[in-house]
Amino acid sequence: MKPREIVPDVYYVGAPDFDRRLFDALIPLPDGTSYNSYLVRGRDKTALIESVEPEKINVLEGYLKDVPKVDYLISNHTEQDHSGGIPWVLGRYPGIELLSSEPAKPMLVDHLGLSAARIRTVADGERLDLGGKTLHFIYTPWVHWPETMSTYLEEDQILFSCDWFGAHIAQTGLFVDGADCILAEAKRYYAEIMMPFRKIVQKNLDKIKDLEIRLIAPSHGPIYRDPQSIIRAYRAWADDRPANSVVIPWVTMHGSTALMVERLAAALVERGVTVYPFNMATADIGQLAMALVDAATIVVAAPTVHVGPHPMAYNAVVLANALRPKVRFASIIGSYGWGGKMVDMVKAAMPNLKVELLPTVIAKGLPKTADFEALDALAGTIAAKHMELGLFSG
């Protein structure tokens, strides 16, 4: 296949992966993904930006079949879905120079077994002139790893952003006109990959705010022809202000916790609060992560199993703790048969959540009238807290 032109002398040479359903053995990929690689031809030199996941190296090989010389390989990010094909590229083009950020160099050595002598580092802000095509390297740490940089092609105003602004979606078309068309996929990606680094996302957004950007070409998903649409979405997702919503990851064994979730959800809705309940026995954790992007409150609802929380509810807490959403309040509800430490264990599992802990509601066996009244009171407390933050004002 011939390299696919994006603008004159800039080409797509990446690979969609329609069949992949799981990333990092954790993240559901309902729409597959893609590993985007780009070829930039200057008058004098040619650069390849990123390689691809090793399983798709045959696609890159096909695109590069009639490209006899590439002078530079730019590695924006060391995770193997982009860097894994680097050894193949180095073998295909023995004279190629591998460029990375300074922090990426030891990581490329560690992850790929490359010789450090094979890698030249570029500084933040450094430029590389290919002859009428100037690559400007911008360190953008923590989107997704600490070493990550973005590459801006000045003449064509294209930002090769690697993971950030990406979306796990496989398609044959190269472009999307506005983020609205893939907002769910982009938000899912942000939630799972970028949310833990929300504060640094804000700084990186500030760092690129004065760039004239005509296209954003990420390393997953389509190229944005309306880059401001996805930048606006990122600003909103990373913003400190939460929404007037509550996420309830829950599990039930014999129905008691389910009754409590139902009552709490109804009481919250009555008070004008949006509720996102997720039965963790069947939930898509990507959707849970997406709901956590905006929520002001998380309520964990779990029965007690062998002293502790049901493992599936516990998993949701561990995941939320890892994703570090902007939630401001938390509570725990659930039930037990004869005793246990469910509440203490859930509280201990969320040290990264900077939340005010609200009263808990724990029923012995089936919830009774007093338990339901306590759930109504909890809903009232949550609504009042949201009101204090001004979240009812739209």
Q: Which residues bind ligand FEO (CB under 6 A)?
A: 77, 79, 81-82, 144, 163, 219-220
Question: At closest approach, how far in Å is the CB of 146 from ligand FEO?
Answer: 11
CB 308 within 8 A of CB 276: no
Question: At closest approach, how far in Å is the CB of 211 from ligand FEO?
Answer: 22
Beta carbons within 10 angstroms of residue 28's beta carbon: 16
Closer to ligand FEO by CB, 16 or 249: give it: 16
| Residue whose Cβ sits closest to ligand FEO | 79
State how far the Cα of 82 lies from the Cα of 14, in Å rounded to an integer: 10
Closer to ligand FEO by CB, 3 or 166: give it: 166
User: Over the range 171-199, which residues count as b (16 or more CB within 10 Å of their CB) and which as e?
Assistant: beebebeebebbebbbbbbbbbbbbbbbe
State how far the Cα of 336 lies from the Cα of 311, in Å rounded to an integer: 14
Question: At closest approach, how far in Å is the CB of 171 from ligand FEO?
Answer: 17
Question: At closest approach, how far in Å is the CB of 321 from ligand FEO?
Answer: 20
Closer to ligand FEO by CB, 112 or 130: give it: 112
Closer to ligand FEO by CB, 77 or 188: give it: 77
State how far the Cα of 169 lies from the Cα of 144, in Å rounded to an integer: 18
Question: At closest approach, how far in Å is the CB of 186 from ligand FEO?
Answer: 13
Question: At closest approach, how far in Å is the CB of 70 from ligand FEO?
Answer: 21
State how far the Cα of 27 lies from the Cα of 6, in Å rounded to an integer: 30
Query: Which tokens belong to 96?
Result: 């190629």
Closer to ligand FEO by CB, 35 or 250: give it: 35
Closer to ligand FEO by CB, 9 or 50: give it: 50
Closer to ligand FEO by CB, 76 or 297: give it: 76
User: Over the range 121-160, which residues count as b (16 or more CB within 10 Å of their CB) and which as e?
Assistant: ebeeeeebebeebbbbbbbbbbbbbebbbbbbbeebebbb
Closer to ligand FEO by CB, 144 or 263: give it: 144
Question: At closest approach, how far in Å is the CB of 220 from ligand FEO?
Answer: 6
Order of strands across the sheet that contains 127-129: 127-129, 134-139, 149-153, 158-162, 215-218, 223-224, 175-176
CB 38 within 8 A of CB 70: no
Question: At closest approach, how far in Å is the CB of 219 from ligand FEO?
Answer: 6
Beta carbons within 10 angstroms of residue 62's beta carbon: 14
Closer to ligand FEO by CB, 17 or 79: give it: 79
Question: At closest approach, how far in Å is the CB of 165 from ligand FEO?
Answer: 12
Nearest CA-CA partner of 278 in 296, 298, 307? 298
Closer to ligand FEO by CB, 141 or 242: give it: 141
Nearest CA-CA partner of 144 in 74, 216, 219, 69? 219
Query: Which tokens belong to 290?
Result: 């997406």
Question: At closest approach, how far in Å is the CB of 88 from ligand FEO?
Answer: 18
Tokens 């992560």, residue located = 289
Parallel/antiparallel/unpaired status of strands 27-28 and 22-23: antiparallel
Helix spans in the chain (H): 57-63, 80-83, 86-92, 104-112, 183-189, 198-207, 227-238, 256-270, 285-294, 311-323, 342-348, 369-388
